Each structure stands twice: as structure tokens, then as C-alpha cells.
Structure 1
Amino acid sequence: MPFNAVEPTHFRLPDILSNWPWPRHLNPHYEVCQKESKAFNLCDFNLLASLGYPLHGKDGCRVGCELMNLFYVIDYYTDVANEAEAKVQADVLMDALRNPHMERPPSEWIGAEVARQFWLNALHIATPTFQRHFIDSFEMYMKAVVREVQDRTEHYIDGIEEFFDLRRDTCGVKPAFAMIEIELDIPDEVMQNEHIAAIILGGVDIIIVVNDMCSYNVEQARSDDHNLVAVVMRSLHLDLAGALEWISDLHDSIVEKFLLAFSQVPHYTDPKLDRQVTQFIHGIGNWVRANEVWSFESERYFGKRGREIQVTRMVELLPKAAP
């Protein structure tokens, strides 16, 4: 920035999903599940789950709500943990998921018991295939969370490629996508199809882009640099407007690849399998929209002005919080 330049007071969010083919779709069981699930009302993670899983029945919607709230518990505790503490938290949580019928020690980190209760509810409707896919993806997520804590402790600065490599797991989107499968039975070899794999990767990356654009303001105010906007500004020596433009162009290229892969997913001769694959890949497209609209409809990033900002796209830059 030139010496005499004035710091911006506002910035404009690109409307990058204006042409996304999947519209907003809310699960009809939202209000009931919101009351029954452990709720963090300001963020309304139950709304996120109900937008993300609009076709799930009441039980599936509730399990989705509990997953979103489990993510919140993990974030809340690991954000203030050191590497050793985060490693213990990850280990006991994974043990709780693998052994849900075992009572947890009273002195143990509360996140393990939250995870155990979530998983016990999930098992009432979960297929064995889903269970395996979910546990595998959640383990990757927890390992990445520990790595993020290590990076924060060591003040390690990511480049753009390194940031994406880690963020694809720390964001929790892969286990969230797996939850689409909770009552489905899609074989491993089908899930590993190159086009379905490309859809999963593309969906994760689009959600990272949208989330980090929407969360940038509150994160920069508390000097949190684990955000794509901050990484791009630092890595490419761009100002905020330039970084948002660069990320918007990146997003467009990811969307192009996503839609191409979507059009190339094969049809299967087994009608049941074909329906389930279609449901899964449309579920990913829907999740991208769900994440975007939740960012404005909850109060997590924009307070009570979210719906206004969703229309105007203009955001007032928050001042830095006192150290």
C-alpha cells in the first residue's frame, strides 16, 4: 500500500455462487431437531445441518445437527490447546467413536463423550459402508487439527498450496460429506471413481473459498491468519481487494472442474446404486449452497446484518481487537 494511502473501511464480497445450480433447500425437520440437539444458538449449527442434509429423515437430520455441534466443541477446545493437549483430545475422541458402547472416564476431555453420544445416535440408522467412510474421514480431520495446532504453536506460515493441503482436512467438510451417505451403501470402488473423487475435492475447495471469504472479517479482527484471504494477501503481496479478486478467479476455475466432473459421473446398471450415487453427488452440490447461505443466515460471521450483506455484498471492516 502506498505511504499516503488510506486504509479501507469496507470491502465487497464477490457473489461467486450466483450461478450455482443448486438452490437453498431446508430439511423440514429443522425446528424439531434444533430443539432436540445440543445447540449453540448464535451460530445455529443446526441450521447448517438442516440446510446440508435436506433429504434426511428426522433421525438423520438430528444426527447431522449433532455432528455440526461436535465440530464446534472440537474447534472451541483445540483453538486454545497446545500440541500435546490436542493430540490427547484427538486420541480419546477417536477411541470414543471406535468404542461407543464403552463409558468414558469422568476425568476425560468432554469432547470424547460428546462424540460417543453422537455416534451412538448415528448407529441407529448408519450403514456399515457409511460407518467405515465416516470414521476414516474423521480420523484424517482430527490428525489435521493436531497439525494445525502444531503450526500455530511454532508460528509456521503456510503458502497457498500448503494451506489448501491442510485446510481440506481441518475444515471438516469430508466427514460432513460422508454424512450424506448415512443410509446409503456405496461401495469403495464406486466412491473412488475419478469423477466422484473430483467432485468431492472440488466441493471441499469451493466451501473453503466461500467460508474463508465470509469469515475473513471476524478472523482478521482477532489476528487469525489461518484464512485463505490472509494467505493470498501475504503470499502474492496483494491488498484485500486484489486478494478477493484472485480468489474469485480461482473459485471460477474450481467450479468449472466440478461441473465437468459432475457431467462425467458414470451411470450404473444397478438401479439402486445409480440412485444412491446420484443422491450423493447432488448432496455435495447442495452442501456448497448450504454452507454459503448459512454464512449469511446465522450470526456467526455478520451478526444480525447477514441477510443485508448477502444482498449488498458490502462489509464494514472490523477494527483489530486489543491484544
Structure 2
Amino acid sequence: MSQTYTIPDTLANWPWKRKINQHYEEVKMESASWARSFHAFSPQAQDAFDRCDFKRLRTGCDLMNLFFVIDEHSDLSSVADAETQAQIIMNALMNPEKPRPHGEWVGGEVARQYWELAIKTATPKSQRRFVAAFDDYMNAVVQQAKDRTHSTIRDIDSYMEVRRKTIGAWPSFALLELDMDLPEDFMDHPVMHELHVLSISMICLGNVSDIAPLPSDIVSWNLEQSRGDDTHNIVRIVMNQLDTDINGAMAWVEMYHKELEVKFMDIFTKSQEWNKSMNKDISRYVEGLGNWVRANDQWSFESKRYFGDRGLEIMSKRTVSMMPKRNDVLNGTQLDIGPVIVDGSIL
């Protein structure tokens, strides 16, 4: 019988509730069609990719598609290849009007087209912050490749430092301000920095992602361990450092998440008083940070990336069976690039 474990309900008391944009269905189809046009994955992997079901307006949907192209390719890349991919991505973002070289890695053209469209509705300040945040993200992706190559399992603190960048939340937060002209002193304020760190930490730990959807750790761990690629995951990190089992690691994550939530809500409440003398964009931006945490959680279960057709059921029951190691992992063969379809019956 397979081992079961419990996914903690980290957002049981989170005040931000599920919301979905009224234009979702229309925009989803446009972005999905755009993503498929690059043929970045095999037909089978593309089918699994389509089931991820990204929920954002066009710029948001396109960004999530870009993230997953980068993530799925870099996860199987050498350090040298990851460094090359990072250089290509950043060159494309800084030169969106310039055609990409023939035969280049497909991620360059995905990034170029994404940013060429996005900047049409983005303020200059938000554009600068997005590019800077994306550069940090790509550098962290290269660091993850180095850790993977050297079989490095970090301790909790150093892992969280890197994970807050590989999760992709910093550039994702730029979506909240694309139409805003937020002052630098607001974005650089220590209160805002702390809110950013706390919200990103909860996204890393919680039931994503991973906004990403960006892949969060307690949800993505099962799929990652089945692929033999779970060393960059808080569940494995905690199991290793604290010498505990899966449920022990999940309990630790739940406790740590609650501490982060209390700190976030305390600072958020105080910031509301501070924001009364500020403009509405600031309040909208801060609200967006809390909503991102909820959005990641919902996407994790509503999409089919981690739980197949059983996402909402597992969201309610919280109990999951550990997936067996894939045959290609057991045989030591190279994994195909791209997501895989999860058979919910084995969960």
C-alpha cells in the first residue's frame, strides 16, 4: 500500500477569498493559443501543459506560460545550458523589438513576444522593476541548476533565500503595478520589503504555484519526488535537516506558514493606516499581495498539474498518496522536457 500524507490547509483563515476575472475564458484561449504556437514541448507534454489552466488577463496568462517554458526546460539543463538560457531571456527582454537569431532556444522568442506585448500597457517604472526582478529570477534559476548538478541539499534558511527568487513572485508582482506609477520611496520602504518577503515566503511554502501560479513546495513535492527532482523543495529540505518524515515536514511547514501569516497580517493592518494618506494605487497594490497568496493556492488544486482530475477533492480532504517513482527515473534515462499528465487514480 502506498504511503499517504496530509497537505496542511495553510490558508484556512486567510482573509482574501477566491476571485476570478470575468474575462478569463476569452483571455485563456488567446494566451493558450499563443503558447502552443512555439512548439516548446512534445505533443504529450503540451497536452499536460494545457491542463495547467492559467487564470490571469493576457499579460498575466502569457507570463505564466513563459515561466513554465523556462521552468520545464531549465529543470533538465546543465549549468552551462541554464546560463545560456538566462542570457537569451534577458537579452530578449531588453530588446523586444529585435528579432531573435535563427535556431536559438525557443525561450528567447517566447520572452521577446511576451514583453513586446506587455510593455504596451506598462508604465516605465513598472517596466524597469519587472526587468530587474526577472534578472534576479534567472540568476536564481542558474543557481538551482548548480545545486542540482552538485546534488546540493541546502539548509532551511539558505534554501528559502534562493527559493524566494526561483518561485518567480518578484517579477509576477510587477503585474500588480503595470498600469501604476508607484513612487520609488514606497517600493523601497522597509514595510513594503517585509510584506513582499512574507507574501513570497507563503507562496513558496503553500499550496501553489506556484501563481507559480507558480509551483509551491508542499503541493509540487509529490510530483517532483516521483521525477527524482525534489532537492529544491522545502519538504525535502526539512526532512533532511530535521530528520523527519513527510508528515513531520508538512507539520513544520504548516507551523512556519502560520508564523508568516501572523506577521503579514500585523504589518498589513498597520499599513492600511499608513496608506490612508496615500493614493489608491498603493492600497490596490498591497491588496494584490494578499490576493496572490490565495490565487496560488486555488490554482494548485483547480488546475490539473499536480492532482489530475482530483484537485478539488484533495483540496477538501487534504490526504494524498505518494506517487511511485517514474520508470524513466528508476532506469536512469533522460526525462522528456515538459510537464506530465498526472493520473489522479494513484493519488
The alignment's TM-score, normalised by the length of structure 2, stands at: 0.84
Listed one character per residue, the Cα deviations across residues 220-270 of structure 1 (whole Å, up to 9, x for unaligned) are: 212222110111001100111111111110000000111111112222645
Q: Does the Cα contact within 8 Å between 2:51 and 2:305 map onto a contact in 1?
A: no
Look up the equivalent residue of 1:69 and give its one-letter code. Answer: N
Report the secondary structure of 1:315's partner residue. Answer: strand
Return closer, same or farther for 1:64/1:100 CA change in 2, 3 Å cut-off.
same
Structure 1: unaligned runs, 5 residues or longer: 1-6, 51-60
The alignment status of 1:34 with 2:28, answered yes or no, reads yes
Listed one character per residue, the Cα deviations across residues 175-196 of structure 1 (whole Å, up to 9, x for unaligned) are: 1111111111111110111221
Listed one character per residue, the Cα deviations across residues 68-109 of structure 1 (whole Å, up to 9, x for unaligned) are: 000011012111211111111111110110111111111211
Return closer, same or farther for 1:45/1:186 CA change in 2, 3 Å cut-off.
farther
Moved over 6 A (4+): none
Aligned counterpart in structure 1 of residue 260 of structure 2, from 254, 258, 270: 254
The alignment status of 1:123 with 2:119, answered yes or no, reads yes
Q: In 2, distance between residues paired with 1:15 and 1:282?
A: 21
The correspondence of residues 237-316 of structure 1 with structure 2, limited to 5 A, is 237-265=243-271, 266-267=274-275, 269-270=277-278, 274-316=279-321
Compute the displacement of 1:207 (Å).
0.5
Q: Does the Cα contact within 8 Å between 2:2 and 2:321 map onto a contact in 1?
A: no
Compute the displacement of 1:281 (Å).
0.9
Q: In 1, distance between residues paired with 2:52 and 2:171?
A: 16
Q: Does the Cα contact within 8 Å between 2:126 and 2:180 map onto a contact in 1?
A: yes
Deviates more, 1:33-42 or 1:11-20: 33-42
Q: In 2, distance between residues paired with 1:16 and 1:146?
A: 30
Q: In 2, distance between residues paired with 1:267 and 1:296?
A: 33
Q: Does the Cα contact within 8 Å between 2:238 and 2:249 map onto a contact in 1?
A: yes
Compute the displacement of 1:13 (Å).
1.0
Report the secondary structure of 1:19's partner residue. Answer: coil
Look up the equivalent residue of 2:132 and give its one-letter code. Answer: D
The correspondence of residues 138-149 of structure 1 with structure 2, limited to 5 A, is 138-149=134-145
Aligned counterpart in structure 1 of residue 10 of structure 2, from 1, 5, 16: 16
Structure 2: unaligned runs, 5 residues or longer: 37-45, 207-215, 331-347
Q: In 2, distance between residues paired with 1:178 and 1:123?
A: 12
Q: Does the Cα contact within 8 Å between 1:67 and 1:118 map onto a contact in 2?
A: yes
Query: In structure 1, what is the equivalent of residue 344 of structure 2?
Result: none
Identity of aligned residues (%): 40
Q: Does the Cα contact within 8 Å between 2:51 and 2:304 map onto a contact in 1?
A: no
Q: Does the Cα contact within 8 Å between 1:43 and 1:298 map onto a contact in 2?
A: no
Look up the equivalent residue of 2:291 and give its one-letter code. Answer: N
Q: In 2, distance between residues paired with 1:46 and 1:314?
A: 21
Q: In 1, distance between residues paired with 2:50 and 2:17?
A: 20
Look up the equivalent residue of 1:315 and give its one-letter code. Answer: V
Listed one character per residue, the Cα deviations across residues 268-321 of structure 1 (whole Å, up to 9, x for unaligned) are: 645xxx211111111111110000011000011111110100111111111122
The alignment's TM-score, normalised by the length of structure 1, stands at: 0.90
